[in-house]
Structure 1
Amino acid sequence: MEDEKVVPTVQELAGFDLNDPTIIELIHQAQESDAADRALTIMQALKKYKKAVFWAMFLSTSLIMEGYDLVIINSFYGQTQFQNRFGVYNADQGHNIIPAPWQSGLSNSALVGQLAGLLINAYTQDRFGCRPTMMAFMAWLAIVIFIPFFAPSLNVLAFGEAMCGIPWGVFQTLSTTYACEVVPTILRSYVTAYVCMCWGAGILLSSGVVRAVVSVHGDLGWRLPFALQWVWPVPLFIGAYLAPESPWNAVRRNKIDQARNSLMRLRQGTPDKVREVEATLAYIRHTTAIEKAETAGASFWECFRGTNLRRTEINCVVWAAQILCGNAILGYSVVFLERAGFSEVQAFDINISLSACYIIGGLICWALFPHFGRSTIYMVGLLLMLFILVAIGGLGFTEGKSVQLAVGILLVISTLINMITIGPVCYPIVAETPSGRLRYKTIVIGRFVYNLTGIFSNSVTPRMISPTAWNWGAKTGLFYAGTNLLCLIWCWFRLPETKDRTFGEIDLLFDNHVSARKFKHTRVDQFAHQNEYSAKTEEGVEHLEASTPSKE
């Protein structure tokens, strides 16, 4: 059966005057850039765009701070120094504890701040660009870290977490969108998946810090981890100042010269560098013009209209599935291992090993990208985690230390599976599926849904597992097996394959309502009508020359 083929619609071509020689030249340059982009191998791309890869990875390190704080605040609940400073005495346990409502409150405070940061970034990144936005919120973060560091009460600490959450919300989407817009198609999956590895690196770093301060007495035991966050803002502020702007962002803001300058800085010097830059710039302008014709505006409302609604749906579900796949209970492996007889120090050591799964899993995922599609890796990860969650839930109906040990080990295995598949693959999917003009807003909406899902999870999961609350224990695995199954079914019918697709191709596939299962095999010619016009024009010229009588 012959593969289907899609081409630009009449509406999408409405903005092109094909009688204008300048437009025709721009289209030819765009075709040249598209062909060159497709011809690149991974090694050629790394050699040619090493500067782009460096800047994408450097700015992505801002996510280390979010991952760092996520574990820091959760680890404090069991830390003796933190309990002595902020906890209330529990007669049954014989020492101070942090009440469950406050545990949820502190964890959710940062998420609430991130929600605000996401909304702010949706405006500032479109209006001012990636670099100014990064610099402004790095400065903000350097100031508000003082609040949790000097917090005299849980109320002030929660406020400080919310204030720190605002820049973290900004960095969540800014790092991903910047990374995907500065590198060629073949490298997009690697630099966007690296964002997840940075998040994991923050978790690994914080796990090591928490382990290191176990023997530190007094308030310094919990203040020192907060103080270490001041290490990041200054170098990242300087890096953002020196980094080139996203050329796609610059074109959307009609800063053509800035886009050209960025493209010159993002690639290595070659004899044809100027011509290649002009061709790439033409492709960006061509794709942006088609998107403008398809999308009336660039407001949040546009994300819920026409074909953009489907793109927004994909972003929301793929983000939410990060938690609903069962990731919400993976952090409790240490709890089950402690119940199985592991000491607090041993549990912390295992937690560090778990955090390393983010890095190890990300590297393994990189090795999978050339051979498998994004949706394939994502769904296989969901399926494997589903089996493990059902096994964990089944163990919840029996008791004993051996059962707790088995649950803990299964959660460790599930963590590694998650970090090879679902965790890193999420980022290229959410970066590639939105249209360029609505990329920031679409990812913001998806991440907003992710944070709301996180608030729900942070509120109910501790109660599910806690013996003093709902006391589900390992049976919680069955609940998340159910949510995992729903995500898996949705992915089969709704998640398209974007591997090796340019942004222009992805736009046309969505605009032509190609189903998720046909995305991979449908052929796309985004220059079809322009080529037909050029061919007819050339035929007309030849016919005119042939019919012109000789003057001899």
Structure 2
Amino acid sequence: MDSEKFEKKASVFHVEDAIAVDLAENKESLLDKARQGSENEHDLSFRKAVVHHQKAIFWAMVMSATIIMEGYDTSLMSSFYAYPSFKEKYGARAADGTYELEGKWQVALGCASSVGTFFGVLANGYLTERFGHRRVIMGSLAVMSATIFIPFFAPSIAVLLVGQVMCGLPWGVFATMGPSYSSEVCPLSLRGYLTAYVNMCWAIGQFISAGVLKALVANSTEWGYRIPFAIQWVWPIPLFVLTYLAPDSPWWLVRKGRMEDAEKAVKRLSSKTVANEAKDRVALMIHTNSLEVEQESEHSADFKGWKSYLQCFQSTNLRRTEIVCLTFSGQIWSGSSFAYSPTYFFSQAGLSSQDTYKLNLGVTGVAFTGCIVSWFLLSRFGRRTIYVTGYFILTATLLLIGILSFPAETHSGAKWAQAGLTLVWVATYSSTIGPLAFTIVSEMSATRLRAQTIALARNAYNLTSIISRVVEPYLINPGELNLKGKTAFVWLGTAVVVLTWSFFRLPETRNRTYEELDLLFGRRVSARKFARYDLTSESVIGIGEDKE
């Protein structure tokens, strides 16, 4: 009897030893594959990435295309303030017989979509992590199709205001989905380009908006402003179909424990030539995810659902949250509400409606071209270098626009000089901090908190945008402070603050895998040392081996 018990106990020990050995071998195998995956990421050139990852490029562009709608309407509403038929419908009659939109309604309409976007972004941080990118986008497109009816049929400015708030809800989802999805489906060598492409989609929306407004500016009927609203129905159906066909993010699948589906998704996102690397890429994702779980467990509780936002403010994630929020809101503090959409400003400065919308079309064309220029800059310079240098040029341009406001009061040539400097500002913005903010925000967050971190960054942008849209009309409106070009001095002050912050606090993420960034933040490396810090002797693979 005793011998039987001994044999059973021995067999149990043998089984446990066998399981332990098997787990050790599996872990070692995973580490080997993760190491190979990391090497593959660093060795993959841009040219080879374009050849072998065309599907990833396509699906990233599809998901990012949803932001075209937000760029379209954002530009649309601000441009409507100087639009004749819109002012006649929703504005108040002035003493000289012309119609003008009251300052309070300009503020309300300018903030309305941002209010809706704020809650849409906040919800997206939770929904995307729970349901995945595809299902959330499809649901948002359905909501978008319904909410467009409100501004299209709005009988009063109050109803129009409600419509803008409602439309802002799905826009909040679109605003954060593009950079999140693109950063998770593309290899390292393509990551910067396709996250920056999100800003191009914004510029495309603005360019379409400017073209539509230019074509209809002479239309004095209600269709002069209703047709621009109706055009928004063009996007949802084709985007819904394409989103349904798109693969889920492999990083999201790994976080959900669906490793086989993650491998299938990786294969769908690349060519058959490199299909054999799928296991290595997924192993790297698993290893990075495990590293972040370990880092989180050391410093904070494991929050789920909505409470996961709390983790963005704990340990090394707090620094990451600071960086993404200030990088994104820095777009507003650079003076974008003043210089990026100068239609109303130059209309009040004395330019005719026709000249104003020609300028607006030119501005959006420059913005589109600037996004393409940013790709060439990304191939030669780091993210930090482009952002800081761009911000310096923007700050200097604001100073010149402000100085020229004094002679502009008596000389029309100075007004056109300001217009020219505005184009310089837009070109600089669109080739530097505009697209780079999306890239930096997408790369800076921990992979497990990407949706939540990007949501916080975007809402920092939204809150800043609301402040600027409240302040800007009162600064520039003839019935209020009427500062005209002197408004540049106000934004010059905020731009100097962000420029100083970015020099000291913004780290370099170029050519760094997500696991390497986890290590750099974990070791609390100084922002100005990120680019040169050597991780060769302390890679995550090495750390894993030391702990054995």
Normalising by structure 2, we get a TM-score of: 0.91
Contact between 1:83 and 1:96, CA under 8 Å: does it hold in 2? yes
Q: Which residue of structure 1 lines up, in the alignment, with residue 165 of structure 2?
A: 162
Q: Which residue of structure 1 lines up, in the alignment, with residue 511 of structure 2?
A: 500
Aligned counterparts, 1:204-215, within 5 A: 204-215=207-218
| Residue type at the aligned position of 2:283 | A
- Distance (Å, rounded) in 2 between the aligned partners of 1:161 and 1:78: 18
Q: Which residue of structure 2 lines up, in the alignment, with residue 139 of structure 1?
A: 142
Contact between 2:46 and 2:189, CA under 8 Å: does it hold in 1? yes
- Bigger mean CA offset, 464-473 vs 428-437: 464-473
Aligned counterparts, 1:304-453, within 5 A: 304-331=313-340, 333-335=342-344, 337-338=346-347, 342-398=351-407, 399-400=409-410, 401-453=412-464
Q: Which residue of structure 2 lines up, in the alignment, with residue 10 of structure 1?
A: none
Distance verdict in 2 for CA 1:293–1:127, change over 3 Å:
same
Per-residue CA deviations over 1:151-184 (Å, capped at 9, x if unaligned) read 1111111111111100000011111100010010
- What is the deviation of 1:471? 2.1
- What is the deviation of 1:444? 0.6
Contact between 2:312 and 2:453, CA under 8 Å: does it hold in 1? yes
- What is the deviation of 1:448? 0.5
Contact between 1:149 and 1:223, CA under 8 Å: does it hold in 2? yes
- Distance (Å, rounded) in 1 between the aligned partners of 2:543 and 2:293: 18
| Residue type at the aligned position of 1:227 | A
- What is the deviation of 1:531? 4.5
Q: Which residue of structure 2 lines up, in the alignment, with residue 70 of structure 1?
A: 74
Per-residue CA deviations over 1:64-122 (Å, capped at 9, x if unaligned) read 0001001111222222222222222111x412221111011111111000001001101
Q: Which residue of structure 2 lines up, in the alignment, with residue 13 of structure 1?
A: none
What is the aligned counterpart of 2:311 among 299, 302, 308?
Answer: 302
| Residue type at the aligned position of 2:259 | I
Per-residue CA deviations over 1:243-294 (Å, capped at 9, x if unaligned) read 0000001111222222122111000012x62x31111111101100111111
What is the aligned counterpart of 2:41 among 17, 37, 41?
Answer: 37
Helix, strand or coil at the partner of 1:78? coil
| Residue type at the aligned position of 2:469 | N
Q: Which residue of structure 2 lines up, in the alignment, with residue 3 of structure 1?
A: none
- What is the deviation of 1:195? 0.2
- What is the deviation of 1:332? 5.3
Contact between 2:34 and 2:284, CA under 8 Å: does it hold in 1? yes
- Distance (Å, rounded) in 1 between the aligned partners of 2:192 and 2:92: 47
- Bigger mean CA offset, 343-352 vs 18-27: 18-27
Helix, strand or coil at the partner of 2:99? strand
Say yes or no: does 1:526 pair with 2:529: no
Q: Which residue of structure 2 lines up, in the alignment, with residue 469 of structure 1?
A: 480
Contact between 1:196 and 1:358, CA under 8 Å: does it hold in 2? no
Aligned counterparts, 1:242-281, within 5 A: 242-270=245-273, 273=275, 275-281=276-282
Return 5+ residue gaps in structure 2 as ranges.
1-19
Helix, strand or coil at the partner of 1:523? coil
Distance verdict in 2 for CA 1:363–1:307, change over 3 Å:
same
- Bigger mean CA offset, 407-416 vs 187-196: 407-416
Helix, strand or coil at the partner of 2:380? coil
Q: Which residue of structure 1 lines up, in the alignment, with residue 232 of structure 2?
A: 229
Distance verdict in 2 for CA 1:147–1:206, change over 3 Å:
same
- Distance (Å, rounded) in 2 between the aligned partners of 1:341 and 1:125: 47
Contact between 2:370 and 2:427, CA under 8 Å: does it hold in 1? yes
Distance verdict in 2 for CA 1:28–1:176, change over 3 Å:
same
Which structure shows the higher helix fraction?
Answer: 2
- Distance (Å, rounded) in 2 between the aligned partners of 1:188 and 1:472: 42
- Bigger mean CA offset, 354-363 vs 466-475: 466-475
Distance verdict in 2 for CA 1:19–1:135, change over 3 Å:
closer
- Distance (Å, rounded) in 1 between the aligned partners of 2:245 and 2:385: 38
- Distance (Å, rounded) in 2 between the aligned partners of 1:18 and 1:386: 60
Contact between 1:83 and 1:98, CA under 8 Å: does it hold in 2? yes
| Residue type at the aligned position of 1:104 | V
What is the aligned counterpart of 2:83 among 79, 88, 91?
Answer: 79
Aligned residues: 516
Over 4 Å off, 4+ runs? 16-19, 335-341, 531-534
Helix, strand or coil at the partner of 1:469? coil
- Distance (Å, rounded) in 1 between the aligned partners of 2:346 and 2:283: 57
- Distance (Å, rounded) in 1 between the aligned partners of 2:31 and 2:527: 29
- Distance (Å, rounded) in 1 between the aligned partners of 2:454 and 2:369: 26
Question: How much identity, in percent, do the aligned residues show?
Answer: 38
Q: Which residue of structure 2 lines up, in the alignment, with residue 7 of structure 1?
A: none
Contact between 1:87 and 1:98, CA under 8 Å: does it hold in 2? yes
Helix, strand or coil at the partner of 2:155? coil
- Distance (Å, rounded) in 2 between the aligned partners of 1:533 and 1:109: 53
What is the aligned counterpart of 1:22 among 20, 26, 31?
Answer: 26
Contact between 2:144 and 2:236, CA under 8 Å: does it hold in 1? yes
- Bigger mean CA offset, 436-445 vs 521-530: 521-530
Q: Which residue of structure 2 lines up, in the alignment, with residue 48 of structure 1?
A: 52
Normalising by structure 1, we get a TM-score of: 0.91
- What is the deviation of 1:403? 2.5
- What is the deviation of 1:334? 3.7
- Bigger mean CA offset, 197-206 vs 460-469: 460-469
- Distance (Å, rounded) in 1 between the aligned partners of 2:81 and 2:544: 63
